[in-house]
Amino acid sequence: MDRIDIRIDVLAVSAVDLIWPMPAERSADAARRVGRARDIQRSGFEAAGLGGVGTNARCSTAMIEKLRRARTCRPAIAPRRGRENEVFGAGYHRVLKVARTLADLDGNETVGRIHLAEAISYRIAGERLSTAA
């Protein structure tokens, strides 16, 4: 489970949800947003001299550390020095990659608290799932 970046619990769909679905983002709009995020990621990696990397998901731990020190991946709020492994274990860099991607999808240059919190929530959901199994 530690090799998976995002783990989400999905609830069953009710009959009411099928009959009266909530308004949702159109697929074409989501595709445009994802395309913009990928362009941001690709150009960011090229600017950092990492032209062979196209997405945050393909970024190695060493690259994430390089980018984090260069402030391009540093979250607006970070764990106290030395606490990252204590807080996230081996998933620390995976959380950073997901948070960076969420910021890219929002069109933000910096990773905000909201992006970090959402990335952590995806990690926690999976940990609950693995302990239940």
In a domain, 72, yes or no: yes
Q: How far is CA 47 from CA 2, 41, 53, 90, 94, in A?
A: 30, 10, 11, 27, 22
Residue 122's domain comprises 26-132
- Whole-prediction pTM value? 0.68
For the record, the structure tokens of 69 come out as: 């020190």
Phi and psi at residue 41, to the nearest 5°: -65, -45
Amino acid at the residue 123:
R
Kindly give the interhelix angle for 113-132 and 92-106, rounded to the nearest 10 degrees.
Answer: 130
Hey, what long-range contacts does 123-126 have (CB within 8 A, 24 or more apart)? 123/7, 123/88, 123/91, 123/94, 123/95, 123/98, 125/7, 125/8, 125/9, 126/1, 126/4, 126/6, 126/7, 126/8
Nearest to 100 by CA among 119, 84, 81: 119
Give mean pLDDT in consecutive 10-residue pieces for the chain, a chain of 133 residues.
67 83 88 92 84 83 72 56 52 85 89 88 64 50
In a domain, 62, yes or no: yes
In a domain, 13, yes or no: no
Note the pLDDT tens digit of each residue in 33-48: 999 999 988 888 888 8
In a domain, 113, yes or no: yes
In a domain, 100, yes or no: yes
Number of domains the chain is built from: 1
In a domain, 3, yes or no: no
In a domain, 1, yes or no: no
Predicted confidence at residue 133, as pLDDT, reads 47
In a domain, 7, yes or no: no
